[in-house]
Structure 1
């Protein structure tokens, strides 16, 4: 058991949750986020606003990502090595939206985590697993683009088998990163307004070694993927700018350079919006133990990370003309022209790399 001093007495804190603010009560279990509404943390309007937003993420994220998977099953033309990775990203996003966003929506609507301590651990694990797969998939997409367009390995061809291997890697590493709290290295508890669950950033109890787990996640699940994305896309931009300069008279090359530059900026910004709040908040808490903070703001990083289930497919899938064309066909709309222009655009971009 953890403990807290209150008016000269020791108040026992349960293992399943932690509320990092002073409370005027001798028995903190009476305020358990698994038993009673957490109205002492925020007003009802805040909880209901969060519930509405999580409902939006659940509905839209589930629809877009499920449609991505369905289109890939339906159309063989989508089963390229890059699209395998995008589908892997969609599956991870689907996991986050169906499990993480749905449970958060129900809990925010009830103003406490209604599913209980065991479900909290399961939700925290599944959402973290999906988030880690999504995060590493973004790095793999950048790595694949670097190999195909910049050709650092000469005539090496990135084949579907390589893409499948990269997808397996994302799940294996995500499992390694998300499983430890289930076995005592950190723990999964309600976070922020206590209506969604994640790793314990708050406590410094040596029993769980939370600080070391937070640093592990920061280094290997944020810093390394971010460095990979920045390096690969920087090299990609340099290669495209050199090709555009050498082929200044080619309108198609100039257009490809502008389109890819715009996409790179959007991709990097999407990654930062998704993960910087979470990583920054965790590091701040670890390095400022005992400092008070508003739990309403502590919920923001979790909200941003779950929102990636929507804006990741928008960036990586809906802005992919081939995917968009097939989605429009599946929904009974026309999209043949987009598909043709997509094929031409991909050909132009793939030719700008060095031979």
Structure 2
């Protein structure tokens, strides 16, 4: 495996050490320092302001705290309630794990870098950070894709598709992590690269280097890490909505109309929050990779990067808000007995699990 180097690492203060050779690069105001291991560090005089670093640190702290809390709540409730350990919920557990990884890895290091006004952890940590953030991010997107396609099969053709089994769920999860690893590991082997991005408070894919290997990997990453998952989710969700509208309030839909509306609402909100969190970052990355990077100021670069990390917050909130059984288990965990009894009464009889209504009600329709 070739040795990975982080090139043009951005600092808002010169990196410490007595073995750094400083030299002026070009006619701009940036200074590049060469480390004793050969890596280059760029001192960026026009970096993020002190106020900008402080604001970034506050938001990163909030995202990290609530990201850990929300996703740990999902994992705790799932672990303490056997009735929630369904094959479908295994995919949601996988989603919570990847979102938890973003919260634990991404936010603390970026927060410290914001306070320090620059990445101070070195090139190896930068590569590890960038790889893990890419891996967790692609895993979250791919899990949502697998979940949406599974819902498409169950809801649009309930009698032609077998229910998801525990073995099937484990196979899907293994496939999700394999797909994510295949998508994000190429920079470790020399195809593409990782480096400090924006004003220097986080690391990611090297969007700026204009070379054949780097540009081709960025195109590969956009295709398989963003456009393909989005296409599958759009196809799945649009067909789900069309199916629900076609049946109206008769037949199968009359029995589970309330749950169907919750599914439609959940699907719409998941799509909306996903696009809300990641679209600004995707647009910025495209400009950095294929446009004029000078259009992206330090302030313009940091906002999408921080906002993308907020994606780890939303899925647990959506799931808890629209899944009565999970919410009931959550109140029970908090020992809110009266609230739990109210939720339990509301959960009967039509909403056993809001995500699996067709699977659980289909046999009743068959026998009718």
Q: What TM-score bracket applies, with the shorter chain setting the length?
A: 0.7 to 0.9
Cα deviation, 1:151-178, whole Å, max 9, x if unaligned, reads: 2671422212111111111111111111
Contact 1:147 1:153 in 2 (8 A): no
Once residues 327 and 40 of structure 2 are traced to their aligned partners in structure 1, the CA distance between those partners, rounded to angstroms, is 42
Cα deviation, 1:111-135, whole Å, max 9, x if unaligned, reads: 1112121111111111111111111
Out of 307, 312, 317, the residue aligned to residue 310 of structure 2 is: 307
Find the counterpart in structure 2 of residue 6 from structure 1: none
Change (3 A) 1:51 1:285: same
Change (3 A) 1:42 1:23: farther
Once residues 334 and 309 of structure 2 are traced to their aligned partners in structure 1, the CA distance between those partners, rounded to angstroms, is 26
Find the counterpart in structure 1 of residue 240 from structure 2: 236
Contact 1:146 1:232 in 2 (8 A): yes
Out of 224, 230, 237, the residue aligned to residue 228 of structure 2 is: 224
Find the counterpart in structure 2 of residue 338 from structure 1: 343
Find the counterpart in structure 2 of residue 67 from structure 1: 73
Once residues 160 and 245 of structure 2 are traced to their aligned partners in structure 1, the CA distance between those partners, rounded to angstroms, is 19
- TM-superposed CA distance for 1:199, in Å, is 0.3
- TM-superposed CA distance for 1:278, in Å, is 2.4
- TM-superposed CA distance for 1:268, in Å, is 1.0
- TM-superposed CA distance for 1:98, in Å, is 0.3
Change (3 A) 1:26 1:59: closer
Tell me whether 191-200 or 146-155 shows the greater mean CA deviation: 146-155
Once residues 347 and 308 of structure 1 are traced to their aligned partners in structure 2, the CA distance between those partners, rounded to angstroms, is 24
Once residues 50 and 23 of structure 1 are traced to their aligned partners in structure 2, the CA distance between those partners, rounded to angstroms, is 30
Once residues 133 and 307 of structure 2 are traced to their aligned partners in structure 1, the CA distance between those partners, rounded to angstroms, is 13
Once residues 249 and 141 of structure 1 are traced to their aligned partners in structure 2, the CA distance between those partners, rounded to angstroms, is 21
Once residues 235 and 6 of structure 2 are traced to their aligned partners in structure 1, the CA distance between those partners, rounded to angstroms, is 44
Contact 2:8 2:40 in 1 (8 A): no
The alignment covers a number of residue pairs equal to: 338
What TM-score, normalized to structure 2? 0.82
- TM-superposed CA distance for 1:325, in Å, is 2.0
Find the counterpart in structure 2 of residue 180 from structure 1: 186
Once residues 26 and 144 of structure 1 are traced to their aligned partners in structure 2, the CA distance between those partners, rounded to angstroms, is 50
Find the counterpart in structure 2 of residue 263 from structure 1: 266
Out of 5, 17, 23, the residue aligned to residue 9 of structure 2 is: 17
Cα deviation, 1:39-89, whole Å, max 9, x if unaligned, reads: 631210110100010000111101111121122111111101111011000
Find the counterpart in structure 1 of residue 285 from structure 2: 282
Contact 1:36 1:112 in 2 (8 A): no
Change (3 A) 1:128 1:155: closer
Change (3 A) 1:64 1:211: same
Out of 44, 50, 58, the residue aligned to residue 56 of structure 2 is: 50
Change (3 A) 1:74 1:128: same
Cα deviation, 1:238-272, whole Å, max 9, x if unaligned, reads: 2222232435994x644334323222221110121
- TM-superposed CA distance for 1:290, in Å, is 5.6
Stretches of structure 2 that go unaligned for 5 or more consecutive residues are 12-24
Stretches of structure 1 that go unaligned for 5 or more consecutive residues are 1-12
> Aligned-residue CA RMSD in angstroms?
3.1
* Pair 1:215-2:215 in alignment: no
Contact 1:34 1:116 in 2 (8 A): no
Once residues 319 and 249 of structure 1 are traced to their aligned partners in structure 2, the CA distance between those partners, rounded to angstroms, is 18
Once residues 156 and 285 of structure 2 are traced to their aligned partners in structure 1, the CA distance between those partners, rounded to angstroms, is 36
- TM-superposed CA distance for 1:185, in Å, is 1.3
Out of 5, 28, 34, the residue aligned to residue 32 of structure 2 is: 28
Find the counterpart in structure 2 of residue 7 from structure 1: none
* Pair 1:327-2:319 in alignment: no
Contact 1:247 1:253 in 2 (8 A): no
Contact 1:142 1:232 in 2 (8 A): yes
Contact 2:9 2:195 in 1 (8 A): yes
Contact 1:38 1:112 in 2 (8 A): no
* Pair 1:294-2:297 in alignment: yes
- TM-superposed CA distance for 1:137, in Å, is 0.9
